[in-house]
Amino acid sequence: MNPSYRQEGPDRLYVITSGRSGGADDALDAVTLVVAESEPTAGMQSEHARILRLCVSPLSVVEIAAHLRLPVTVVRILLTDLIDTGRVTARHPAPAPSPARPLASPDVLEKVLVALHNL
């Protein structure tokens, strides 16, 4: 079990991201679902390998962050590496509400209401 990055200090984050602080895929939302497309390989950065093992089933960006105990910002950078090399796929369905169109679609709302009533 990896300890939290807090116990290793912030330099650890710098190492994990190879010094990068930006460059994450802007389309990666906090709840974008990510699925692994390949198995971890020998020599792969351990955080990348852990993401591949976590995402055997779809998992959101924030869940990955929670399981890795890394800030969301760092996880988005790591995920972008994996997307760029085709090792994971990010599922981007219908657009979410945005500042320009802040209301969800009626279909989505019905789905939410049905599921909540059945809780």
Partner 1 sequence: MHSTTSEPPSPATVVGTPTAPLPDSASQALKIAVVGGFGVGKTTMVRSVSEIRPLTTEETMTRAGAEIDDLRGVEGKNTTTVAFDFGRITLDSTSVLYLFGAPGQQRFWFLWDRLFTGALGAVVLVDTRRLEDCFYAIDRLEAQGTPFVVAHNDFGEADHALEDVRSALDLDPSVPLMRCDARERGSAKDVLIRLAEHVRTLVREGRR
**Residue 85 Cβ vs partner 1, minimum distance, rounded to whole Å:** 21
User: What is the crossing angle of helices 61-68 and 46-54, to 10°?
Assistant: 130
- Select 25 or 63, whichever has its Cβ closest to partner 1: 63
In one-letter notation, the amino acid at residue 17 is T
Q: Are 89 and 35 in contact (CB under 8 A)?
A: yes
Q: Are 90 and 25 in contact (CB under 8 A)?
A: yes
Give contact residues for partner 1 (rule: CB under 8 A).
1-2, 6, 9-11, 13-14, 17, 19, 21-22, 29-33, 35, 50, 53-54, 56-60, 62-63, 65-69, 71-74, 91, 93-94, 96-99, 101-106, 108-117, 119
- Select 41 or 66, whichever has its Cβ closest to partner 1: 66
**Residue 68 Cβ vs partner 1, minimum distance, rounded to whole Å:** 7
Q: Please count the CA atoms within 13 angstroms of the CA of 69 that sit on its side-chain side.
A: 11
**Residue 9 Cβ vs partner 1, minimum distance, rounded to whole Å:** 8
**Residue 91 Cβ vs partner 1, minimum distance, rounded to whole Å:** 4
In one-letter notation, the amino acid at residue 60 is S
80 closest CA partner among 64, 96, 102: 64
- Select 84 or 110, whichever has its Cβ closest to partner 1: 110
In one-letter notation, the amino acid at residue 70 is L
